[in-house]
Structure 1
């Protein structure tokens, strides 16, 4: 029997979504195959003792009080894991956004010699920092929105004027490194720009400004690495919001899902090829959700890659993967775990 450590929570703005993802994963892991151990990571980055009991109807039952210091709690986690048969032990780092998708936890697990599912340090860091990934997509000649960026200390009227002249209005302002559309604003006027920029800079010291692409944002699940990469059919949230922000994605009653997203077969094939090219350009491995814009001109533009997308019951990634392979969620988790072991053994 394999031993699975599920790390969940974390110190990002997506802490609660990570708990919801972790609960869905824990409930669907095959009881006959895995010995499951849960570790909660609080908003300060402290690790809880391992536990196995939880309320299957309440993700907040995964939250634990942690009295140890961050260093002592992490040392305690490593000491416990060190007693396992590491050839049959794997980590599921169910931590979205900062700390979970920026390479931090992957680097920590690499340094500790622990096997885990999903992307490694480099691809996680690249995809989390949207300025860096935009630069890579540009070098790879993958179509994307026009963009400019600056650091917090350089955000001023001169930068605002440069962006308006180059990108044009309306435009999108966002933190370079954050997730779930937190801190993202649509800007219609110069007067709105400064407020939007200051909001984005609450979440990161680097600000990204992008052209507003008119069209539909679509999402695709991508799994595998090297020449063995599978891509799902696209899905989309159809919303009346000005863009797919946090509220539209998680709370709006007017937002509806389209899974799969209806498009002609030729365009669907092009979307899948484009998503695969973006995934490879960023060095992704294991799995990711690739978000692209399907423009009114029928062109495709890369938006971003989520290297540990949501695994909640309503999240698109797992549902697209289930549709791709015609299996249930438990089998998808088996596939991701087997892939994690395979890549660890090949290193």
Structure 2
């Protein structure tokens, strides 16, 4: 088939997306597809308007890639694409909205509160509300951002103002949530809508205090243990929650669901990634490899699941 791969983009995750795109392009070529690589820029929409391909593989991360906007454009152009549609992408990107959906359906979440920055006279009012509602440590982060960009773990009240400033630089809505310490795990989900299965659970052991940007993307920044050394019962619970979260948001083809296992051995859901990192050494391919699925075969499976019609 003729497949266009969109990668790069203009979000804070551009560098990661460049690597994801490179991996996907090579895998598709290895599988015999004709591939067009497009370093996507929203100001150059004409790159897509006259595109003549059988399928688009979205290798973008963050804004204008993972938030439903590029999906909406491709829908209007009647170009099929790999992955989740407009609504599920937007919901997964909106941490506050997705957490409400998870909590309503009995998937444990961290206590949180969102604040629309421009509704407040000044940020000191937000800081006062945060101080009244949360006790340290807690997390301040942009509501719609990936790769822990703009995130601060507030350990002392003197950090609140700066944490709000950092988060608000990335988004008009900030999310404050209780800090949940514990083991960081993630669960890849793949399959036809309604028939998804979870791949092996991955435990992430960051070299820094938490799984930040450097831990995710710098060589040696973290260790991945696949499958995670957790009980069979907890593995099943994590996989069930992951598939349930994927389905509740209406995701398609694949996603990766992040959790913290707290001190009471309860999985607390963090978020659903509708376009997780797909470099050959990323978490998703690491897990797939354990069940005998090579990187190239995994990419080809995503393509197959996306045809002939998106759901």
* Same-fold call, TM cutoff 0.5: yes
2:161 equivalent in structure 1: 194
Matches of 1:289 and 1:119, distance apart in 2: 12
Alignment RMSD? 1.8
Bigger Rg over Cα? 1
User: Superposition pairs for residues 1-347 of structure 1, below 5 Å?
Assistant: 2-31=1-30, 33-42=32-41, 45-46=42-43, 70=44, 74-81=45-52, 89-153=54-118, 154=120, 156-251=123-218, 253=220, 255-324=222-291, 326-344=292-310
> 1:260–1:202: structure 2 CA closer, same or farther, 3 Å change rule?
same
- SS of 1:96's equivalent in the other structure is coil
Matches of 1:116 and 1:27, distance apart in 2: 18
Question: Deviation of residue 32 (structure 1)?
Answer: 5.4
> 1:102–1:254: structure 2 CA closer, same or farther, 3 Å change rule?
closer
- SS of 2:272's equivalent in the other structure is strand
Unpaired runs of 5+ residues, structure 1, are 47-69
Matches of 2:85 and 2:168, distance apart in 1: 27
Scaled by the length of structure 2, the TM-score of the pair is 0.94
Question: Deviation of residue 76 (structure 1)?
Answer: 4.9
Contact 1:176–1:208 under 8 Å retained in 2 = yes
Matches of 1:80 and 1:343, distance apart in 2: 18
1:56 equivalent in structure 2: none
Runs of 4+ in 1 over 6 A off after TM superposition: none
Matches of 2:160 and 2:231, distance apart in 1: 37
Matches of 1:319 and 1:343, distance apart in 2: 28
Matches of 1:31 and 1:256, distance apart in 2: 28
- SS of 2:50's equivalent in the other structure is helix
- SS of 2:196's equivalent in the other structure is strand
Question: Deviation of residue 214 (structure 1)?
Answer: 1.5
Contact 1:160–1:190 under 8 Å retained in 2 = no
Matches of 1:287 and 1:226, distance apart in 2: 9
Unpaired runs of 5+ residues, structure 2, are none
Matches of 2:189 and 2:96, distance apart in 1: 22
1:53 equivalent in structure 2: none
> 1:341–1:20: structure 2 CA closer, same or farther, 3 Å change rule?
same
Scaled by the length of structure 1, the TM-score of the pair is 0.84
Question: Deviation of residue 156 (structure 1)?
Answer: 3.4
Question: Deviation of residue 199 (structure 1)?
Answer: 0.3
Matches of 1:320 and 1:163, distance apart in 2: 38
- SS of 1:29's equivalent in the other structure is helix
Contact 1:129–1:176 under 8 Å retained in 2 = yes
- SS of 2:306's equivalent in the other structure is helix
Between 234-243 and 263-272, report the one with greater CA deviation.
234-243
Matches of 2:110 and 2:48, distance apart in 1: 43
Matches of 1:170 and 1:37, distance apart in 2: 47
Question: Deviation of residue 136 (structure 1)?
Answer: 1.5
